[in-house]
Amino acid sequence: MKLTKLMAFTATTRTGATFARRTMFTSALCRPVFRCAPFPATRVLSMRLMATTAAPGMDPEAAAILNGERFAEEVDVCIVGGGPAGLSAAIRIRQLAAKEGKDIRVFLVEKGSEIGSHTLSGAVLEPRALDELIPDWKEKGAPLNTPATKDKMYLLTENFSIPLPHPPQMSNEGNYIVSLSKFVRWLGEQAEEAGVEVYPSFAASEVLYNEDGSVAGIATNDVGIGRNGLPKDSFERGMEIRAKVTLFAEGCHGSLSKKVINKFDLRKDSQPQTYGLGLKEVWEIDPAKHEPGLVLHSIGWPMKFDTYGGAFMYHLEDNLCAIGYVVALDYENPTLSPYKEFQRYKHHPLIKHYLEGGKVLSYGARALNEGGYQSIPKLSFPGGALIGCSAGFLNVPKIKGTHTAMKSGMLAAEAAYESIATKGETGPLSLTNYEEAFKKSWVHDELYEVRNVRPSFHSPLGMWGGMAWAGLDTMFLKGRYPLTLNHPKPDHATLKPLSAVKPIEYPKPDGVISFDLLESVSRTGTGHVEDQPIHLRLQRGPTDQLEVNYKVYGGPEQKFCPAGVYEYLDDAEKPGQKKFQINASNCIHCKTCDIKDPSQNIDWTVPEGGGGPKYSNT
């Protein structure tokens, strides 16, 4: 059994606790290596009291257990997140090291139970970055099996579909329809073969800092803590991973990425990030209706013209069809439910035709960055850098971000290797050369050219104004308009009071084409250890939810969460009042609550490693 697979098994079952976990970590080091700047051997560090662990007034014996010694590793590069950006960075560093006969130690942690289990996207993959990273990817068996062969674009009304000219940015000639979770799993195999130490089921929960304030690495979370905050028999301390360079590749709105962005004020010179919520199902459809290579996009119904969003349908191999809906999280009506908009969309005649006679196999949802070029923060800081969707490289008009995420990881990898191996610098390093490389790259040029498309939808004309500008900009101006348009305010500040809107009424699901929310959540494979602290934390208690979110906005968490995590229930102990309930075990790690909560009280943090969805064909 491969070490990483054994690690994943142990991390999930927690059998053997600390001894097994530490033994396997140590066994990973038992190989002769040449390092550019050797680190000392494995060691155990005593740790300071962590406020998130031992609460004041706790039994001294329990507090001593919770604040015991923590196992530590020292590596050259630590990467947080096993998605396209993180894995591409890891592979690129090891490629450069192998070319020069050096061994840069690259250590990657991923909170999902397996590489790819938390990855969700449409997805149509543009192979440009893959061609650069692994030119012989076809020979290596990359799961790019369905070339995109036909593009269609429609404007939907409730009963009709109007064909639209296909914008040049959305042309998919030369691209592939893929399951991104399967593609990422394959990338993980390539990383392991390159010598990257890959550890799924380990959730990075803390950023470590040096005395000078620079990033020193990360720590994984403690496990085996009960919901009451006390250690269980299975308790084990988290582990420190200290590195010269730490690359944050957590995906959109990562829990540690947002901390370093705030600490180093990385958004000081950028626009607020704006987000969308993407929802997706995979269907097996009637072979007679299956069109391998079909890429179908639509805008319009069922949403109003003042809400940005759209839909996709991609036909893969084996009669599989990926169908999804994206709703921009700057919407104003607090009664809007992205999930129910998606279910309603599937009943449009154009879409329902394909789904009738088929069966749904899986469901998932994930927040995505929509801010574009002007919302990219400063990328580097002392000790590390942001890559992939942790920074926000999605090309919104193209509806693609995997290729740009991969390239950003490669650029950061090359900068890190140059600093460690070529210049011989010792950590913590500031990758200013990564910032410079990005500005000279095709990623920068691609995003700059389309920078004004997404913010153009903020005009009073909404969808109509945005469509007109997008056509003009992408077909004729090609980014040459001298000004850069702004995003007016962050998504959490856009909701109108419930009293100022007309509530949206949604039809009941029919159980054939559309489904109840919890039925869909059951198709995500989501699972968490039940007896653990709630990872969706209310920073100031429930008062903001009850006094502001419920009384002013009608409890929008119940609507925007695509997994039924949040509820406002009658409080049996206080007749006539409500209580705010968090069903944390339902959470599919989409991060929407942390983004859209109008009170900005919900803080999404990582649960025990291995928890969450188990996506396989998304």
- Sequence spans of domains, the chain: 59-142+180-272+373-451, 489-604
Q: Where are the alpha helices (DSSP H) in 284-401?
A: 338-345, 349-355
Average pLDDT of span 98-110: 96
Q: What is the pLDDT of residue 38?
A: 32
| DSSP SS3 for 515 | coil
Give the span between the Cα atoms of 237 and 305, in whole angstroms.
Answer: 51
CB distance 532 to 226 below 8 Å: yes
Q: Is 593 an annotated catalytic residue?
A: yes
Q: Is 181 an annotated catalytic residue?
A: no
The pLDDT tens digits of the residues spanning 250-287 come to: 999 999 999 999 999 999 999 999 999 999 999 999 99
Query: Which tokens in the block code for residue 524?
Result: 């995500």
Q: Which is higher by pLDDT, 22 or 358?
A: 358
Statement: residue 462 has pLDDT above 90: no
Q: What is the pLDDT of residue 36?
A: 32
The pLDDT tens digits of the residues spanning 524-545 come to: 999 999 999 999 999 999 999 9
Q: Is 587 an annotated catalytic residue?
A: yes
Q: Is 561 an annotated catalytic residue?
A: yes
Q: What is the pLDDT of residue 547?
A: 97
pLDDT band at 561; cut points 50, 70, 90: very high
Query: Sign (positive/negative) of CA torsion 558, 564, 565, 570?
Result: positive
Average pLDDT of span 280-301: 97
Which of the residues 179, 205, 220, 402 is marked catalytic?
Answer: 402
| DSSP SS3 for 579 | strand
* Antiparallel, parallel or unpaired: β 320-328 and 309-315: antiparallel
Share of the chain above pLDDT 90, in %: 79
Q: What is the pLDDT of residue 145?
A: 97
Question: H or E stretch including 84?
Answer: helix 84-99
Which of the residues 561, 592, 599, 618 is marked catalytic?
Answer: 561
* Antiparallel, parallel or unpaired: β 240-248 and 566-570: unpaired
Q: What is the pLDDT of residue 458?
A: 83
Q: How far from each other are the two terminal CA atoms of the chain, in whole angstroms?
A: 26
The pLDDT tens digits of the residues spanning 362-375 come to: 999 999 999 999 99
Q: What is the pLDDT of residue 468?
A: 75
Statement: residue 238 has pLDDT above 80: yes
The pLDDT tens digits of the residues spanning 302-357 come to: 998 889 999 999 999 999 999 999 999 999 999 999 999 999 999 999 999 999 99
Q: Which is higher by pLDDT, 481 or 380?
A: 380
The pLDDT tens digits of the residues spanning 191-232 come to: 999 999 999 999 999 999 999 999 999 999 999 999 999 999
Closest listed residue to residue 606, CA positions, set 116, 118, 50: 118
Which of the residues 121, 181, 408, 592 is marked catalytic?
Answer: 121
Q: How remote is the C-alpha of 267 from its chain's centroid? A: 19
The domain made up of 489-604 has a fold known as Alpha-Beta Plaits (3.30.70)
pLDDT band at 360; cut points 50, 70, 90: very high
Q: What is the pLDDT of residue 202?
A: 96
Number of H helices, E strands in the chain: 18, 25
Give the span between the Cα atoms of 605 and 259, in whole angstroms.
Answer: 11
* Antiparallel, parallel or unpaired: β 70-80 and 106-110: parallel
What is the per-residue burial (b if ≥16 Cβ within 10 Å, else e) of 493-521? ebbeebeebeebebeebeeebbbebeebb
Q: Compute φ and ψ for 566, nearest 5 degrees.
A: -110, 140
HSE-CB for 458 with a 13 A CA cutoff: 17
CB distance 83 to 180 below 8 Å: no
Which of the residues 179, 526, 590, 618 is marked catalytic?
Answer: 590
Q: What is the pLDDT of residue 41?
A: 33
pTM of the predicted model over 0.85: yes
The pLDDT tens digits of the residues spanning 465-484 come to: 777 777 777 777 788 888 88
SS3 content of the chain, % helix, strand, coil (to 5): 30, 25, 45
Quick check: bond before 428 cis, omega within 30? Answer: yes
Give the span between the Cα atoms of 182 and 617, in whole angstroms.
Answer: 6
Q: What is the mean pLDDT of the chain?
A: 90
pLDDT band at 464; cut points 50, 70, 90: confident
Give the span between the Cα atoms of 455 and 378, in whole angstroms.
Answer: 20
pLDDT band at 23; cut points 50, 70, 90: very low
Q: Is 366 an annotated catalytic residue?
A: yes
The pLDDT tens digits of the residues spanning 404-460 come to: 999 999 999 999 999 998 777 776 888 999 999 999 999 999 999 999 988 888 877
Give the span between the Cα atoms of 102 and 181, in whole angstroms.
Answer: 31
Which of the residues 587, 592, 599, 618 is marked catalytic?
Answer: 587
CATH number for domain 59-142+180-272+373-451, candidates 3.40.630.40, 3.30.160.620, 3.50.50.60, 3.10.310.10? 3.50.50.60
